[in-house]
Amino acid sequence: MSGRIVNNEGTRQLEQRNEVAPPSKVGVPPRKNAWEEFNCVVKETFFSDQPLRQFKDQPKRKKAALFVQGLFPIFQWGRGYNFTKFKGDLIAGLTIASLCIPQDIGYAKLANLPAENGLYSSFVPPLVYAVMGSSRDIAIGPVAVVSLLLGTLLRQVYDPVKELEQYKRLAFTATFFAGVTQLALGFLRLGFLIDFLSHAAIVGFMGGAAVTIALQQLKGLLGISNFTKKTDIISVMRSVWSNVNHGWNWQTILIGVSFLAFLLATKYIGKKYKKLFWIPAIAPLISVILSTFFVYITRADKHGVQIVKHIEKGINPPSLDEIFFHGDNLTKGFKIGVVAGLIGLTEAVAIARTFADLKDYEIDGNKEMMALGTMNIAGSMTSCYVATGSFSRSAVNYMAGCNTPVSNIVMACVVLLTLQVITPLFKYTPNAILASIIICAVIGLIDIDAVILLWKIDKFDFIACMGAFFGVVFDSVEIGLLIAVSLSLFKILLQVTRPRIALLGKLPKIPIFRNILQYPGAKKIAGVLIVRVDSSIYFSNANYVKERILRWLADETEKLEDQSMPIKVVIVDMSPVNDIDTSGIHALEGLHSHLHKKEISLALANPGPVIMEKLVAAEFDKLIGEDNIFLSVNEAIKIYAPNAVLDP
């Protein structure tokens, strides 16, 4: 009796397992009108961070205060400022000032500008940024890559020796439009545009620029007078070796190489012992003081050692009337400024985000762009050239314990003191020491570890990196930048036009379907072809998606010719597909038509709300039948291959 009960119970359970519950229908979101759709797209594209959420339900006075704090963050963090924070900012500011002064003089030379313009650029822009910037750690001033870029592009228009005044005016014009570009991108919330330059391309471009900058410093390091104006490695090395017999100066080489070794040694010490970060920070200033004193007492300048000679004393003179606002130079300055502004913006935002992550606080990328743009516009009117965030100085600023942008104010005050009092003392500073400082600074831009990682992770990224690197080294900065941008855009186009499409199989014992290449244990379902499209379906890839699915169908059909179970349904997993356009829907219609002629059904699994809304609008759901749109692949399998669901 008990045995019959058990058997009946087992039969009942088996019958329940074999029953297939009716599948739930995929939900269709409420239809939006044209204005609602446009409003939604604009919000997600330009206001995804909801910048106005803090103003909600606030009184007018509070809204006004919040607006001022948003525009000038100094009023936000300044309320909680105290003497403890100031001590950290003071030490950090003095430390980065000792690093920036010699670097500024060297970078100005790299941009073919007078040395004082480099110092001017570390006075006004940092003050403006301290009021408007949101990063606590970034140190503002001239940087090597932008200086090289400006020097290269400006020299194509004016000779910095014979036409210095016109050259400077064009530099101020380029700086003005660099600021306008940065301010416009931030105000219009178009910061996402700089993300089109991939990390791999940036690594290659920066590395190539570092090599080019270092090669350019051979002129000062070796004491060569007649040096090529070209920047490619072949022209530079030809110029170096053609001067080996009569152009090299052994006193200059002795000074340059000795202090370069000293700087590299201090840099190694600071990297190995983090608490000694201040040693490589003050080493450049110590090198300048010692080398200047050595040249002065030995009068080495009388023996061919090239020196700075003269740095204009005093605060930044106004330069608004020197900016070109009409004529051909306006167009030339605009083009150069846009390029320099974008490069400076990319570097500064990357640095700000890096240190914000280290200290666990957030920065607003669009506000950063507005701050950088405003400071460069102000700088162009006060004899400065393009300034941005410096990674080496920002790293020192971070290690020195800065708490707020006040460290930039401290640095600017030290630079002001230098301009007012100390500049005559730089008269005998040898160019060789400036070359050594620049070489030591740009070595850090060559990121070998990042290149190795690119090779391990993504070979195309490695190719993009090397393309940008060799473009800069063997041709010019412009060509390298063009290659970097082109390869970044090409990768985007490649990924959009050729999305990944996976063939799915069922994992053992569980109703989950995964890529059979990733999970060799996943088994295909007899009579069913399951594919997953891992991208949105647009006009650029719609035909490829359709043709790839049909090719898989043809391959699977050939394999099953000798078997009794032909393909009777193609299930397309739409889970990763977050959007589709009319071309994509047309491609699905073509796929359905092709399959229908072969008496094969088409089923869709888990289409999202946007996809479902558009499919219903195009009446595609009626074309394939509402019963062929499922919540999941497993729901579809329950209908088309119910026995497969029960397989262990």
Lowest-pLDDT range of 38-42, 177-181, 214-218, 409-413:
38-42
- pLDDT recorded at residue 17: 41
Report residue 548 as tokens.
């790839």
**Alpha-carbon torsion 446, 208, 478, 306, what sign?**
positive
- pLDDT recorded at residue 7: 43
Q: pLDDT digits over 443-490, tens only? A: 888 999 999 999 999 998 999 899 999 999 998 888 888 888 888 888
Q: Given a cut of 80, is residue 124 above it in pLDDT?
A: yes
Region 583-612: what's the mean pLDDT?
92
Region 86-111: what's the mean pLDDT?
93
- pLDDT recorded at residue 456: 94
- pLDDT recorded at residue 412: 96
Strand arrangement of the beta sheet that strand 501-506 belongs to: 513-515, 501-506, 528-533, 569-573, 601-605, 629-630
Opening angle at CA 415, ends 180 and 101, nearest 5: 90
Q: Among 22-31, 177-186, 624-633, name the most confident range.
A: 177-186
The dotted CATH code for 498-645 is 3.30.750.24
Q: Among 15-29, 150-164, 351-365, 559-573, name the most confident range.
A: 150-164
Region 106-116: what's the mean pLDDT?
93
- pLDDT recorded at residue 24: 63
Identify which has the larger pLDDT, 369 or 69. Answer: 369
Delimit the domains of the chain by residue range.
81-489, 498-645
- pLDDT recorded at residue 561: 63
For residue 352, the SS3 value is: helix
Identify which has the larger pLDDT, 5 or 183. Answer: 183
- pLDDT recorded at residue 13: 40
Q: Given a cut of 60, is residue 647 above it in pLDDT?
A: no
583 CB burial (10 A radius; 0-12, 13-18, 19+): middle
Average pLDDT in the chain: 87
Local confidence band at 95 (pLDDT 50, 70, 90 cut-offs): very high
Region 627-644: what's the mean pLDDT?
87
Region 406-426: what's the mean pLDDT?
93
Is the pTM for the entire model greater than 0.75?
yes
Region 279-301: what's the mean pLDDT?
92
**What 8-state DSSP symbol labels residue 419?**
I
Residue in 247, 220, 281 with CA at minimum distance from that of residue 434: 220
Q: Given a cut of 50, is residue 330 above it in pLDDT?
A: yes
Region 410-428: what's the mean pLDDT?
92
